[in-house]
Amino acid sequence: MAFTKKRGNTSPEVSTASLPDIIFMLLFFFMVVTVLRDAELKVKVNTPQATELTKLEEKSLVNYLYIGRPLERYHSLYGTKPRLQLGDKFSSVKDIPLFLEKHKIKVPENRHGQITSSLRVDGEVTMGVVQDVKTELRKSNQLKVNYSAKKRAD
Amino acid sequence: MAKQTARQRLRNEINAGSMADIAFLLLIFFLVTTTIVEDKGLKVRLPPWTPDAPIADVSSRNVFTVLVNADDELLVRGEQIPITALKDYAKEFIANPKRKAEFAKKPTKAVISLQNDRSTSYEMYVAVYNELKAAYNELWNDLAQLRYGKPYSEDMPLAMKKAIRSEIPLVISEADPFQAEN
């Protein structure tokens, strides 16, 4: 009986006054970690697996070059041979210097040396295409390169 | 007095009850658009571009040539080996613990020359590069363990890292690929 008496006095509602604060906290977290995708993948990229991986530190200092076979819906336009994608369009190797320059403008000048090019290349692609891209990167003096890969479990 | 009461009467508050809903909406938007993809990979420094590739003048005992052909087969210093054996072979070559005459004189002298075919698959290339890097990483680890009593890692003091890397420098030279002869 003593129990019922106690319960009768207190209201059983949980205060929801702090709910907005909690939601806002979550919101800010996601706002900070979010990176709005700027490029839609038009080529199939399934990066190979490796063990000796290093993490890319700052996203703003990285530009991405995708190499792979065009997705099914682009087959009629671009064929099935491995292609290079810069930004959100199919490109040729000759477009690389301009692409790098466009990215460089957005980076403060004192950090130009830290810009990394991340090559996200499909595992099935042959080295010929990759080699041409590498040569072009060397010609444009973009020497910091990252071969994007997945962690191999072993 | 009268003024104050008037202000008190006029005190209008914004209804904050819908704040949570607005925050929710924004939250859901960011939840949907967010992509927490962390990019990992093999860090590589390409050699600077020179029109005609200079042929490095190194005696052949210090050069560890790795050839990968169009069928993804490995030829290391003239003999065909499986990729699983590459790491240990490379380690033995670089460190040369038994002071063999055919292996590198000193770790600082060792040069790894990697050459691939234009038809080599990228997967194989990355696998080979990974093995070579693994060999160096393990050697650095051993040295760091010996010197400082802790494994080599990216976030150890810069001076230690430099000391280790000057003792066993990573030199992987990549020649231009050969065309498939046919």
| pLDDT tens-digit readout, B13-29 | 667 778 778 888 888 88
Q: Provide the residue range defining the domain that includes A142.
A: 43-151
**Alpha-carbon distance B20 to nearest alpha carbon in chain A (angstroms):** 5
Which has the closest alpha carbon to B135: B97, B94, B102? B94
A7 within some domain: no
| pLDDT tens-digit readout, B167-180 | 888 888 777 666 54
> What's the domain count of chain A?
1
Residue B58 has pLDDT above 70, yes or no: no
Average pLDDT over residues A27-51: 80
Q: Which residues pair with A90 in a beta bridge?
A: A85
Model confidence band, residue A5 (pLDDT cutoffs 50, 70, 90): low
Q: Which amino acid is at A105?
A: I
Please state which of the ranges A60-74, B34-48, B84-98 shows the lowest mean pLDDT.
B34-48
Contacts of B134 in chain A (CB under 8 A): 51-52
Q: Which residues pair with A67 in a beta bridge?
A: A84, A121
Please give the C-alpha separations between residue B59 and each of A93, B53, B64, B84, B103, in angstroms, as whole numbers: 36, 18, 11, 27, 11
- Are the CB atoms for A140 and A104 separated by under 8 Å? no
pLDDT at position A96 = 92
pLDDT at position B56 = 56
Check B122 against A53: CB less than 8 A apart: no
Q: Which amino acid is at A44?
A: K
pLDDT at position B181 = 39
Q: Find residues 106-135 of chain A whose CB sits inside 8 Å of chain B.
A: 116, 118-128, 130-131, 134-135
Q: Where are the domains of chain B?
A: 61-174
Contacts of A63 in chain B (CB under 8 A): none
pLDDT at position B37 = 66
**Paired tokens of B60:** 């052949």
- Its ipTM equals 0.75
Contacts of B39 in chain A (CB under 8 A): 55-56, 62, 118, 120, 146, 148
Average pLDDT over residues B160-171: 86
Please state which of the ranges A22-36, A47-61, B88-102 shows the lowest mean pLDDT.
A22-36
Average pLDDT over residues B132-144: 90
> Which of A47, A126, A150 is facing B121, going by the closest CB pair?
A126
Residue B154 has pLDDT above 70, yes or no: yes
| pLDDT tens-digit readout, A129-142 | 898 999 899 889 89
Check B16 against A118: CB less than 8 A apart: no
Please give the C-alpha separations between residue A130 and each of A93, B40, B95, in angstroms, as whole numbers: 10, 18, 31
Average pLDDT, chain A: 84
A:B CB pairs within 8 Å: 148
A76 within some domain: yes
Of chain B, the percentage scoring pLDDT greater than 90 comes to 4
Model confidence band, residue B52 (pLDDT cutoffs 50, 70, 90): low
Distance, CA of B64 to CA of B83 (rounded, Å): 15
Tell me the CATH number at A57: 3.30.420.270
Distance, CA of B125 to CA of B16 (rounded, Å): 59
> Which of A131, A143, A148 is facing B177, going by the closest CB pair?
A131
pLDDT at position B7 = 62
Please state which of the ranges A30-44, A62-76, A140-154, B124-138 shows the lowest mean pLDDT.
A30-44
> Which of B33, B41, B134 is facing A147, going by the closest CB pair?
B41
Residue A42 has pLDDT above 70, yes or no: yes
A2 within some domain: no
A28 within some domain: no
Average pLDDT, chain B: 80
| pLDDT tens-digit readout, A84-111 | 998 888 889 899 999 999 999 989 999 9
Contacts of B44 in chain A (CB under 8 A): 145-147
A145 within some domain: yes
Residue A148 has pLDDT above 60, yes or no: yes
A18 touches chain B (CB under 8 A): no
pLDDT at position A122 = 92
Check A33 against B36: CB less than 8 A apart: yes
B52 touches chain A (CB under 8 A): no
> Which of B19, B35, B47 is facing A20, going by the closest CB pair?
B19
pLDDT at position B10 = 65
DSSP-based three-state secondary structure for A65: strand
Average pLDDT over residues A118-126: 90
Q: Which amino acid is at B52?
A: D
pLDDT at position B6 = 63
The per-residue DSSP string of B31-75 comes to HHH---PPPEEEEEEPPPP-SS-------GGGEEEEEE-TTS-EE
> Which of B27, B48, B127 is facing A23, going by the closest CB pair?
B27
- B70 → chain A, closest CA residue: A126
